[in-house]
Structure 1
Amino acid sequence: MAKAAKIEFVCTDCGKNYTRWRGQCECGAWNTLAEMKIPANSKASGKKSAAVAGYAGFSGGGSKKIDEIESLEAEKRPTTIGELDRVLSGGVTTGSVNIISGDPGAGKTTLLSALVAHMSQDTASLYCTAEESLSQFKNRVQRLKLEYNSDNLYLLSETSVEAIIEELETNQIKFAVIDSIQAVVTENANGTPGSPSQVKSAAQALTQYCKQNNVTMFLIAHVNKNNEIAGPQTLVHIVDALLHIDTNDGQVRTLRANKNRFGDIDTVGIFKMTERGMISVDNPSEIFLSGSTTSSPGSAITCIRKGNRNLLLEIQCLTTEIESEFPQRVCVGLNMNRVKMLTGILRKHTKTKIFHDTFFNIVGGLKIDESETCIDLALVTALLSSLNDFVVPRTTCIMGELSLNGDVRPIDSGVPRVKEAAQHGFEQIIIPHRNYHKSMETAGAKIIPVKTIHQLLEIIQ
């Protein structure tokens, strides 16, 4: 007689298991324990079952000395999607299970539709959609004009994990996409689709199958209002890689790996959403510069760092006479508190009076993180340029952090940023004095180190 299923309570925040319900988890969260049913092993024999042998599959044989274990390099397969390959450190790892998340409309389905179409050209591939019809998916493939192998590309509309695994086994699928993990259910857990028990058990079952059969899989995951993956935190621990798509105000999408067992997590991929789908941007600096051939006041160019990539972007500022009693401060893509602080520094140390409506914008629709302080000097330059009606040459790149006492503080990765600006033809590069290094002079541009905001004003005005 089969044993009854075991009941556990899992914290939806940290994933810790308990044998009985309690009000507060050890992580400090209240009322986050959800009931989860775990099927008991029906066989009581001493032989271990591969189904319960862990995510990586059953190996057997007991422990081994490290010198007895064969070292195998992870096999990477390029996807021809340049920015995705960059984020995954060279391509998709064979046999890996990956999650891709993002806001609704970020481009998760669009990106993976192109990926599964490419993989089908020489690999049996499956796209399982639990949220839309098969005709909708086919219409998307035709609209995006994707190239695929009709003999290898399988489409499935299914919500049962057991049925999905059976389909993978029947057609000997080696690459699969599940859209989405919150929409599928398994018989081994109770609860509705998307509940912590269902999400965790479904991910466990799919990952075990992939590891035991060398199947590469991508799971699409929903996000909550805090832009975090919906469901238990253990979902992140189960998979090999966690990719997230950030949506900017415009068409720009940034792809970042928050976890990657087969590569680094410092690389950021830049995409542009078009009518032909998610297009890789091999030279992101081109879309973050206005491309204007005429010089005008209120513009300054700087270099920021996204992961391990250096991006040139243009900061624009417009100042106009106030139309009300209080001047406006409008920022698109910038942190408002940072702008207020910089205007305060200008008033204190340069006696600049800003009785104007002030509007700031980042060309290309990119959002600048609050921690990216290297844009301070460029932002101040753009403001003064618009306020005093002078032009900053488009061959000048400005980078540096501004402190409250008016000093210019150093920035991280100064040499790579300078080299990036020099490669794009900038003739004059203004940097913090403490970032200056002789190796920068070989870049072919004139390097101007500054110590204070007063030195910056002498150069730009």
Structure 2
Amino acid sequence: MTKVRTVFVCQQCGSQQSRWMGRCPDCGTWDSLVEQTERRDAASRSRAITSGFQGRPVGLRDVAIGGFTRLPVLGREFVGVLGGGLVPGSVVLIGGEPGIGKSSLLLQVAAHFADHVGPALYVSAEESVQQIKLRAARMGLEPERLLVYSETNLNAILDQVAAIKPQLVVVDSIQTVYLEELSSAAGSVSQVREGALRLLRVAKEHAIPMFLVGHVTKEGAIAGPRVLEHIVDVVLYLEGDRFHQYRLLRGVKNRFGSTDEVGVFEMTAHGLREVPNPSQAFLSERTVNAPGSAVAVTMEGTRPILVEVQALTAHSAGAQPRRTANGFDMNRLLMLVAVLTKRVGLPLFNQDVYVNIVGGLRIDEPAVDLAVAVAIASSFRNMRVRQDLAMVGEVGLAGELRSAGQLERRLTEASGLGFTCALCPETAHLPCIEGLGVITARALADAIETALRDCDTGTHENQS
């Protein structure tokens, strides 16, 4: 006889409780417990379905890897993030905020794959086939071997995969499909976990690469338990500001390559377009010789990118001055303001401070500290920073400058974009870049004085 049991499952960590609680005792998340009913026969069928792969143990030396080739995907940027191409049988999870461009990007990937490799199946559990057709027509996509399918039942989707035998499958999204064997609602922990396991098994058995779209929470993490990210082979995040045109495709997990690569795209009316030179794109609208503007050389994975840092200081009308950061960590901004006040002597206690990273980028690297501090000082003193000066350096609490990694690649990128002067920490190992004068400073106060006056473009010079 079927036995029904009521449990409360945390939608963040997947833990089960016998009664409802306002806060999950395992992960500490508030209001994450959702009531679900479990039937023993349904659970038994679910365990039987996801029992694992069939086969016998094989000696490592006997494993054949001949003929293994990666499959091409859309453009160099996407290929670089995946580590050189799409691995047959891999499952790739792509997350991002609503409206960031996940569906558009995967529709382009599926269309490109259908044109150059083989038949692809695009499954949407959120849109009708007519809506998919309208999006494809707007982006100018007319692939002959791309099949579209609108369905929420995962069993029906897997039946179509078995009948069509495509070489690529896209499921948009994993939180909106469901297994009818489970009594819980679509998007719940059990549905997401079991659905991902079913798709993973099909992908491995038939060597079909799959893309899964994942919704994200308010904190920016993929919705559902973290076990979903452990099931798949690759986890990518599409980042960026919806009100700006640039998007960053960042890898946080990759079983077949490095997670240090980042792809840069631009959202256009015809879909996402690759940006081969993101530094030039981010600096194209820069106002020359404007107070409060500085250029930082940051690293996105292994790629150096030059970005404009803007700062504005204004006398505060209230008792508590405001600190606002867009694209920069707020706690780090508060630290830099304290260092500027205590170590440099800038009276910012009655000043509102605003910092903005141009282009909608989000930068957490400490090597941008020097540019942010110089931009704040430039705005406060109403003095301009030299237009061909790039900066790299981390600021410590004692007001000292600390070195950043991969300095040679950073300065080479700056020199290639026409910058003739660079400001770096004195402790850094300085490379010799032709046409680029490097000035070093030991303390933040010295660096600010150097940045706010003309610098010599000749040999290395110490300002300590």
**Interval of TM-score (by shorter of Structure 1 and Structure 2):** 0.7 to 0.9
Return the alpha-carbon distance in structure 2 between the equivalents of residues 292 and 173 of structure 1: 47
**Secondary structure in 2 aligned to 1:92?**
coil
Q: How far is 1:35 from its partner?
A: 5.7
1:58: which partner in 2?
54
Q: How far is 1:80 from its partner?
A: 3.0
Checking the alignment, whether the CA contact within 8 Å between 1:118 and 1:147 is kept in structure 2 is: no
1:106: which partner in 2?
100
Checking the alignment, whether the CA contact within 8 Å between 2:6 and 2:35 is kept in structure 1 is: no
Return the alpha-carbon distance in structure 2 between the equivalents of residues 310 and 21 of structure 1: 51
Checking the alignment, whether the CA contact within 8 Å between 1:34 and 1:196 is kept in structure 2 is: no
1:456 corresponds to which of 404, 426, 447: 447
In structure 1, list runs of 5 or more residues that go unmatched: 43-48
Bigger mean CA offset, 258-267 vs 26-35: 26-35
1:241 maps to 2:237 = no
1:38 corresponds to which of 43, 48, 53: 43
Return the alpha-carbon distance in structure 2 between the equivalents of residues 442 and 286 of structure 1: 19
1:332 corresponds to which of 303, 319, 326: 326
Return the alpha-carbon distance in structure 2 between the equivalents of residues 301 and 6 of structure 1: 62
Cα deviations by residue, 1:321-372 (Å, 9 ceiling, x for unpaired): 5556665443322233333332332232333234544432222121222xx2
Return the alpha-carbon distance in structure 1 between the equivalents of residues 26 and 59 of structure 2: 36
Q: Which amino acid aligns with 2:309?
A: I
Structure 1 residues 51-450: aligned runs within 5 Å: 54=52, 57-60=53-56, 63-72=57-66, 74-121=68-115, 122-149=117-144, 152-248=145-241, 250-292=244-286, 294-321=288-315, 327-354=321-348, 355-369=350-364, 372-437=365-430, 440-450=431-441
Q: How far is 1:178 from its partner?
A: 1.0
Identify if the C-alpha distance between structure 1 residues 74 and 247 changes in structure 2 by more than 3 Å, giving closer, same or farther: farther
Return the alpha-carbon distance in structure 2 between the equivalents of residues 290 and 398 of structure 1: 18
**Secondary structure in 1 aligned to 2:423?**
strand
Q: Which amino acid aligns with 2:384?
A: V
Return the alpha-carbon distance in structure 1 between the equivalents of residues 344 and 444 of structure 2: 8
**Secondary structure in 2 aligned to 1:434?**
coil
Bigger mean CA offset, 171-180 vs 319-328: 319-328
Q: How far is 1:180 from its partner?
A: 1.2
**Secondary structure in 2 aligned to 1:310?**
strand
Identify if the C-alpha distance between structure 1 residues 52 and 390 changes in structure 2 by more than 3 Å, giving closer, same or farther: closer
| Percent identical residues | 34
Checking the alignment, whether the CA contact within 8 Å between 2:240 and 2:362 is kept in structure 1 is: no
Bigger mean CA offset, 411-420 vs 253-262: 411-420
Q: How many matched pairs? A: 440
Q: How far is 1:316 from its partner?
A: 1.6
Q: How far is 1:115 from its partner?
A: 0.9
**Secondary structure in 2 aligned to 1:250?**
coil
Q: Which amino acid aligns with 1:38?
A: A
**Secondary structure in 1 aligned to 2:193?**
helix
Checking the alignment, whether the CA contact within 8 Å between 1:12 and 1:33 is kept in structure 2 is: no
Bigger mean CA offset, 24-33 vs 451-460: 24-33
Return the alpha-carbon distance in structure 2 between the equivalents of residues 290 and 316 of structure 1: 14
Cα deviations by residue, 1:230-265 (Å, 9 ceiling, x for unpaired): 223332222111111123252222211222111111
Return the alpha-carbon distance in structure 2 between the equivalents of residues 337 and 231 of structure 1: 28
Q: Which amino acid aligns with 1:206?
A: L
Q: How far is 1:390 from its partner?
A: 2.6
Cα deviations by residue, 1:262-284 (Å, 9 ceiling, x for unpaired): 11112122222221212222211
Checking the alignment, whether the CA contact within 8 Å between 1:129 and 1:178 is kept in structure 2 is: yes
Q: Which amino acid aligns with 2:442?
A: K
Identify if the C-alpha distance between structure 1 residues 38 and 64 changes in structure 2 by more than 3 Å, giving closer, same or farther: same
Checking the alignment, whether the CA contact within 8 Å between 1:242 and 1:260 is kept in structure 2 is: yes
**Secondary structure in 1 aligned to 2:432?**
helix
Bigger mean CA offset, 413-422 vs 21-30: 21-30
Return the alpha-carbon distance in structure 2 between the equivalents of residues 105 and 98 of structure 1: 19
Identify if the C-alpha distance between structure 1 residues 38 and 403 changes in structure 2 by more than 3 Å, giving closer, same or farther: same
Return the alpha-carbon distance in structure 2 between the equivalents of residues 29 and 333 of structure 1: 28
Checking the alignment, whether the CA contact within 8 Å between 2:81 and 2:262 is kept in structure 1 is: yes
Q: Which amino acid aligns with 1:131?
A: E
Q: Which amino acid aligns with 1:374?
A: A
Identify if the C-alpha distance between structure 1 residues 148 and 388 changes in structure 2 by more than 3 Å, giving closer, same or farther: same
Identify if the C-alpha distance between structure 1 residues 325 and 120 changes in structure 2 by more than 3 Å, giving closer, same or farther: same
Cα deviations by residue, 1:88-135 (Å, 9 ceiling, x for unpaired): 011221221111111111111010111111111141111111111111
Q: How far is 1:26 from its partner?
A: 9.4
Identify if the C-alpha distance between structure 1 residues 75 and 189 changes in structure 2 by more than 3 Å, giving closer, same or farther: farther
Return the alpha-carbon distance in structure 2 between the equivalents of residues 85 and 266 of structure 1: 13
Checking the alignment, whether the CA contact within 8 Å between 2:91 and 2:212 is kept in structure 1 is: yes
Checking the alignment, whether the CA contact within 8 Å between 1:221 and 1:230 is kept in structure 2 is: yes
1:45: which partner in 2?
none
In structure 2, list runs of 5 or more residues that go unmatched: 454-464
Q: How far is 1:400 from its partner?
A: 1.0
Q: How far is 1:32 from its partner?
A: 7.5
**Secondary structure in 1 aligned to 2:92?**
strand
Per the normalisation by structure 2, the TM-score is 0.85
Return the alpha-carbon distance in structure 1 between the equivalents of residues 110 and 381 of structure 2: 54
